[in-house]
Structure 1
Amino acid sequence: ALTSIQSSDVFRQMRSSGTSGQASKITLDGESAKRQSQVLVKILQSWLGKQRRPMLLIDAPSTVKKAGAMTARAAGLQGLSFFGRHHCYALNEEMELDIDKVSDFFSEYGKQPVLIFGFTFIVWQKFIQALAQQNISFDFADAILIHGGGWKKMQDQAVTDEIFKASIYKTLGKVNVHDYYGMVEQTGTIYMQCENGFLHTPAWSDVLIRSPQDLTLLEYGEAGLIQVNSVLPTSYPGHCILTEDLGTVFGEDDCECGRLGKYFKVHGRVPKAQVKGCSDTFS
């Protein structure tokens, strides 16, 4: 467990979803948690505006209520739910599509601006695929879908970002789809995907790309290990994290979408064999 505070100051423990190796446990005090929430709000308002929209959450209600340290999934659902109102969970406790609830939500709010949120693979398998199997589609007038989480399971099924978006448009109508990159080790900081398919770095953080061979810094346009830097945490040593993800930074302040900051893409997890000379960085 990563911590820099006394146990009496612990406000919350977070647990990473840990797709490889050991799951991280992150300790937050009240100040760090507050700072993370404030920054998440600032980042999302710049993409969503300040108006709270009726919200469809592609998950089961119990995900947020489970005991123990909060998981990345629960933290995502709870953090994003602040941006919605009239929350509707699209899945039942068995993680199956609750079509009556979704239909009711659409009847009530389908012609208004709505917000949809879920984790990429759950959105794909439990929602989009389930609707397709039942030959059901909706025609939202103005929806924003924010989704994130690992793409590994998607890649295993040969689902690309393009296929994912095309299926969303076909099944849900007029939806602006934004992927995001983030991790429980730096909660509060998310890198949102713009209309051109690039992830953008907010003002409170920075992304560097390092060579998997010797960890030297790479130039724009070169693929390597993603290092994420954040000014937010003070309750644990989480300012500077070398991830197991491969990515490329393409530039800074000159993305065609008009947004400022570095813009980059994530290519997936690094194959273990490729990491040389820094095996102690990985659990």
Structure 2
Amino acid sequence: MTLNELFQLPPYGLAAPEKESALAENLSELTRRHYGNCPEYRRILDTLGYDPGRRYAYSELPFIPVRLFKAHELRSVPKEQIVKTLTSSGTSGQAVSKIFLDADNVRNQSKVLNEIISSFIGKQRLPLLLLDTEMIKKDRSMYSARGAGIIGFSIFGRNSVYALDADMNLDMGKIAQFCEKHADTPILMFGYTYMIWQFVVQALEESGRRFHMNDAILFHIGGWKKLKDQAVDALEFNRRVRACLGNVRIYNYYGMAEQLGSVFVECEHGHMHCSNYSDVIIRRSSDFSVADTGERGLIELLSVLPTSYPGHALLTEDEGEILGTDDCPCGRLGKYFKIHGRIKSAELRGCSDTYERR
């Protein structure tokens, strides 16, 4: 099944046997493609004993650590075909990943993101409240995965308003005017987890101010490390967001700059879901063998989207576990899983966790 054929299906519509066959075909082809077109990637795979003529199950395909993109510029297309270079987030002084995208890669990422998010909110564009500052578009030092996320999510909204001013303070008047204008319409909101917590939830709690939205949807992404340090889990985060903002449906999702577009959205039952375009393998840290369902290990992310760079099989620095396949109560097919957080020895990274107030 080709990528174009996958695009014709609902994003969570393939059951395990069909999906595994489609992923094996596409991921094997991507491995051969990048092996032939990215010299650095080829040297890595030669060292690992990869044989381009052999048929592999996709769990057997070689993977590379996500941190490799911080040390090397990896691309599989000529430099003149690159239309966008995306950088990952990092604290001051850290190296950042550089992801090189050609026009096909950009188009497919946008299409997949649209299919996944629309399956949760519908096709209609909703009034959009961005829980960030408009400076994200003007300050090039802030334009990385965070800026790309803000701009990328904006395609789902209309009449966009930024909730924070240039000093990262809530613009109460602007928010109140936005809520009043769209009181009879569902409202869409987007932001980064820790920034929502610090600059929206805690700021509203300290001010004693509340907004009573009748029907809102919040998508948020980003690390949970600082919230866990404050003993704030997803249930507490959701409870206090609703206490501040009203009737809000809240969707957390997981993704990274190195596989932009292939996001994993948390359903109504608190489970992260793999779409038709991606998958997750949990690997034991002792020998990188495939862990069993319910067994904790390192998360490997697989995506059929990275065609201009070898980012289709990446070992992350996050720990998680598979909860099941094709049987989530929400009705979506595919694997669903839980994230336990960053492994202790990994460097701090993430759009919201590494934000430093200036």
TM range (shorter): over 0.9
Is 1:10 matched with 2:85?
no
Please show how residues 7-86 of structure 1 align to structure 2 within 5 Å.
Answer: 7-18=79-90, 22-67=95-140, 70-86=143-159
Give the 5 Å matches for 1:183-262. Answer: 183-262=256-335
Taking the aligned partners of 1:265 and 1:228, their CA distance within structure 2 comes to 13
Structure-1-length-normalised TM-score: 0.93
Distance 1:70 1:33, change over 3 A: farther
- The equivalent residue for 1:272 is 345
**Is the Cα–Cα contact under 8 Å of residues 136 and 143 in structure 2 kept in the other structure?**
no
CA distance in 1, matches of 2:84, 2:322: 33
- Indicate the SS of the match to 1:90: strand
Question: What stretches of structure 2 of length at least 5 have no aligned partner?
Answer: 1-72, 347-358
Task: Give the match for residue 45 of structure 2.
Answer: none
Displacement of 1:21 in angstroms is 6.0
Q: Secondary structure at the match of 1:18?
A: coil
The corresponding residue for 2:66 is none
Q: Corresponding residue for 2:201? A: 128
Q: Secondary structure at the match of 2:133?
A: coil
Indicate if the aligned counterparts of 1:15 and 1:69 stay in contact, CA closer than 8 A.
no
Which one has a bigger Cα radius of gyration?
A: 2
Provide the rounded CA distance (Å) in 2 between the counterparts of 1:26 and 1:123.
27
Contact 1:13 1:69 in 2 (8 A): no
% same residue: 46
Q: Shift in Å at residue 64 of structure 1?
A: 2.6
Structure 1, unmatched stretches of 5+, are 274-283
Cα distance change of structure 1 residues 219 and 154 upon mapping to structure 2, 3 Å threshold: same
Match for 1:126: what amino acid?
F
Q: Which has the higher contact order (CA 8 A, sep 6+)?
A: 2
8 Å CA contact retained: 2:133, 2:163: yes
Q: Structure 1 residue runs of 4+, over 6 Å off? A: none
CA drift of 1:54 comes to 0.4
Note if contact 2:136-2:142 (Cα within 8 Å) is conserved in structure 1: no
For residue 210 of structure 2, give the secondary structure of its aligned residue in structure 1: coil
Residue type at the aligned position of 1:137: R
In structure 2, distance between residues paired with 1:96 and 1:107:
20
Judge conservation of contact 1:14–1:69 (CA < 8 Å) in 2.
no
- Please give the per-residue CA displacement for 1:69-117, whole angstroms capped at 9, x wherever unaligned: 9411111111111000010100011111111111111111133101010
Answering whether residue 164 of structure 2 is matched by residue 91 of structure 1, we say yes
- 2:127 and 2:188 in contact (8 A); partners too: yes
2: CA distance, partners of 1:94 / 1:68: 15
The 2-side partners of 1:224 and 1:21 are apart by 26
Q: Compare the two structures and name the one with the higher helix fraction.
A: 2
Q: Indicate the SS of the match to 2:166.
A: coil
User: Shift of the alpha carbon at 1:60?
Assistant: 0.6
Q: Is the 8 A contact 2:130 2:163 kept in 1?
A: yes
Report the TM-score when normalising by structure 2.
0.74
CA distance in 2, matches of 1:16, 1:215: 25
Q: What RMSD in Å do the two structures reach over aligned CA positions?
A: 1.5
Q: Name the SS of the counterpart of 1:245 in structure 2.
A: strand
The one-letter amino acid of 1:218's match is A
